[in-house]
Chain A
Amino acid sequence: MRPAPATVRRLIFVLMLVLWELVPRAGLLPELFLPSLSRTLGVLMHNWAEYAHALTVTLYEVVLAMLIACGAGILIGAVIGGLSRVRQLLLPVFSSLYAVPIVILYPIFTAWLGVGSQSKIAFAGVYGFFPVMLSTAAGIQSIDQNFLVAARSMGASLPQQITRVVIPASMPTVLAGLRLGGALALIGVIVSEMLTAAAGIGYLVSKYRTVLDSPRVFAAILVILVLSVLFDALARWVERRALAWQTAGRREPGLPVEETYTGTTVPA
């Protein structure tokens, strides 16, 4: 009898934490390369004020970037998904542009908006925009036409068709896009803070790297990892709540909602 996959995952997770603690302690890796978990946590606690301040800056940027990415993404995605003319015209253009590494635009954003929060918000907003837009378009475009015909046969007006059919039917894809877009907005903020910044948790990574203060670098990395785990868990929880109809009554409620692979993953 093999152990359940979830158990194995937990074991792997615990094992990684144990190794993080033991490998540096045993001297297998120098402290400079990998400070032990306890040391990293100690540094984090000791300098909590600094990290907390950096975290508020980062969170502020992430929230605004997510608002931009999701707002613009849903709006433009809905137009592209709903109007076949616009879709035919622009969707191929967007999928070509998707090949360009967006990170090379960041120097333009700093030149235009300065090294403060605005450039991070704008850059991360653009970063998260694409998956939200593409999956909203895909979600609306792929709605089963039968649903709309059925709604019309029952006398639904156009606004009713949109609120009662188009929105719930496209919800799974759109929410998956929002999760991805949100994650990318977070990634975008961290990347841009690491590249050029004067504040934020990504900035701490870079700042302490240059002075070779590894424990502080790893403290910042730990904060970022926890942040992205929390965001991911939150987004999945929202998806599960909103899409209960997909999984209701299925056994193994612990399993995540089926992944909607929209092909809109964006690199980081």
Chain B
Amino acid sequence: MSRSALILTRLALLAMVLAAWEWLPRWAIVNAALLPPLSDVLAMFVTILGRSQVQEAVAVTAGEVVLAFMFAVPIGACVGVLVAESEYFGQIFRPMLFYVFSIPKSIFLPMFILVFGIGFAQKVAYAAFSTVFIVIMSAAAAVGSVKADHVLVARSYGATRAQVLTRVYVPSMLPFLLETLRISMIFNLTGVMIAEMYASRSGIGQLIASWGENFQMPQLFAGVMLLAAAAIAFNETVRWLEARCSTWRT
């Protein structure tokens, strides 16, 4: 299939899903109270965007996301490099890190609440905590991706340590670093959402949870749509950058 045919088919599929979302509730094939028609949700989407309560919530959430990211990424990257560079440390901690992925990190939320209360700091701390492990893993993978041969070649031509770092490590790792950022953001956003939905007085996650509890389905769907759109937009932007940075990779 050609590229344009693919995109057309995808658009057609999307149109079918959207049409079903619009018409199934309208024709009362599904309960409109449970699945409001698309047009109602879109109208609500515009309405809630105009509300100051929602705008404040978006600002709070965005602040939490950005701050948590700024804690998690540098810390995780440093530990990740350590794990990758020292074989001994790697052998000790790698299996532990893999195991951490099977633990529901939300069980530690009560501790974060006890320490930080139910506020901005707690969301940031919990989101950073839930993100740091994946940053460690991907940073270690990024360092591991640097070919020993390339380092050897650079050294044999008399490159200094700094030159090896900037000329070999950074370009080799760049696509992986972007991948790290992208995956970490998914974890980070999830962390903030869980924390906000669990116990909070502000933020988009809290709004979504309370709309759900109060059965305000159009608002709920509009909120989910808002967050999903933001997440997908960030993800696709980084993927686009990744594709541009890795043209030399085959």
A binds B: yes
Residues of A within 8 A of B (CB): 2, 5, 8-9, 12, 32-34, 85, 88-89, 93, 96-108, 110-112, 179-180, 183, 186-187, 190-191, 194-196, 202, 205-206, 209, 214, 217, 220-221, 224-225, 228-229, 231-232, 256, 259, 261, 263, 265, 267-268
Chain B, Cβ-Cβ closest to A196: B213
Given contacts A89-B6, A205-B110, contact A186 B104 (CB under 8 A): yes
B102:A186 contact, CB within 8 angstroms: yes
Given contacts A99-B235, A191-B106, contact A209 B186 (CB under 8 A): no
User: Which residues of A lie under 8 Å from residue B101 when comparing CB positions?
Assistant: 180, 183, 265
B75 within 8 Å of A (CB atoms): no
B232:A191 contact, CB within 8 angstroms: no
Q: Mark B194-236, 1 if CB is under 8 A from A, else 0.
A: 1001100000010011011101010011011001100110111
B113 within 8 Å of A (CB atoms): yes
User: Which residues of A lie under 8 Å from residue B110 when comparing CB positions?
Assistant: 205-206, 209, 217, 221
A8:B92 contact, CB within 8 angstroms: yes
B102:A99 contact, CB within 8 angstroms: no
Q: Give the CA-CA distance A265 to B13 in the complex, in Å.
A: 27
B104:A228 contact, CB within 8 angstroms: yes
Shortest distance from the beta carbon of B240 to any chain A beta carbon, whole Å:
12
A191:B236 contact, CB within 8 angstroms: no
User: Which residues of B lie under 8 Å from residue A267 when comparing CB positions?
Assistant: 130-131, 134, 186-191
Q: Give the CA-CA distance A196 to B99 in the complex, in Å.
A: 27
20 inter-chain pairs at a CB distance below 8 angstroms, sorted by A residue, are: A33-B114, A89-B9, A97-B232, A98-B235, A100-B231, A104-B208, A104-B224, A107-B197, A107-B211, A186-B102, A187-B102, A194-B106, A194-B109, A205-B107, A205-B110, A228-B104, A231-B102, A265-B137, A265-B183, A268-B190
A105:B92 contact, CB within 8 angstroms: no
A232:B227 contact, CB within 8 angstroms: no
Contacts A267-B134, A268-B105 aside, 5 further interface pairs with beta carbons under 8 A come to A93-B10, A108-B212, A194-B106, A206-B198, A229-B102
User: Which residues of B lie under 8 Å from residue A99 when comparing CB positions?
Assistant: 182, 185-186, 231-232, 234-236
A232:B99 contact, CB within 8 angstroms: yes
User: Which residues of B lie under 8 Å from residue A231 when comparing CB positions?
Assistant: 102
B212:A111 contact, CB within 8 angstroms: yes
Indicate which residue in B103, B217, B235 contacts A228 across the interface (CB closer than 8 Å): B103
Q: Give the CA-CA distance A187 to B194 in the complex, in Å.
A: 12
Q: Give the CA-CA distance A130 to B58 in the complex, in Å.
A: 27
B95:A85 contact, CB within 8 angstroms: no
Shortest distance from the beta carbon of A89 to any chain B beta carbon, whole Å:
6
User: Which residues of A lie under 8 Å from residue B187 when comparing CB positions?
Assistant: 267
Given contacts A33-B114, A100-B232, contact A88 B106 (CB under 8 A): no
Q: Give the CA-CA distance A32 to B113 in the complex, in Å.
A: 11
Chain B, Cβ-Cβ closest to A33: B114
Chain A, Cβ-Cβ closest to B182: A99
**Number of interface residues, chain B, beta carbon within 8 A:** 64
Given contacts A104-B193, A110-B212, contact A265 B103 (CB under 8 A): no
Q: Give the CA-CA distance A102 to B91 in the complex, in Å.
A: 33
Chain A, Cβ-Cβ closest to B211: A107
B111 within 8 Å of A (CB atoms): yes
A187:B186 contact, CB within 8 angstroms: no
Q: Give the CA-CA distance A118 to B88 in the complex, in Å.
A: 46
Q: Mark B82-118, 1 if CB is under 8 A from A, else 0.
A: 0000001001100110110111111111110111000
A111:B34 contact, CB within 8 angstroms: yes
Indicate which residue in B104, B213, B232 contacts A187 across the interface (CB closer than 8 Å): B104
Shortest distance from the beta carbon of A188 to any chain B beta carbon, whole Å:
8
User: Which residues of A lie under 8 Å from residue B9 when comparing CB positions?
Assistant: 89
Q: Give the CA-CA distance A85 to B1 in the complex, in Å.
A: 8
Indicate which residue in B96, B107, B113, B198 contacts A225 across the interface (CB closer than 8 Å): B107
Q: Give the CA-CA distance A191 to B126 in the complex, in Å.
A: 14
Q: Give the CA-CA distance A14 to B227 in the complex, in Å.
A: 42
Indicate which residue in B95, B141, B198 contacts A261 across the interface (CB closer than 8 Å): B141
A2:B213 contact, CB within 8 angstroms: no
B235:A96 contact, CB within 8 angstroms: yes
User: Which residues of A lie under 8 Å from residue B223 when comparing CB positions?
Assistant: 104
B104:A96 contact, CB within 8 angstroms: no
B88:A5 contact, CB within 8 angstroms: yes
User: Which residues of B lie under 8 Å from residue A190 when comparing CB positions?
Assistant: 104, 106-107
Q: Give the CA-CA distance A100 to B234 in the complex, in Å.
A: 10
A5:B91 contact, CB within 8 angstroms: yes
User: Which residues of B lie under 8 Å from residue A206 when comparing CB positions?
Assistant: 110, 198
Chain A, Cβ-Cβ closest to B3: A88
In order of increasing CB-CB distance, the 4 nearest A-B pairs are A107-B212, A99-B235, A267-B187, A5-B91
Q: Give the CA-CA distance A224 to B106 in the complex, in Å.
A: 11
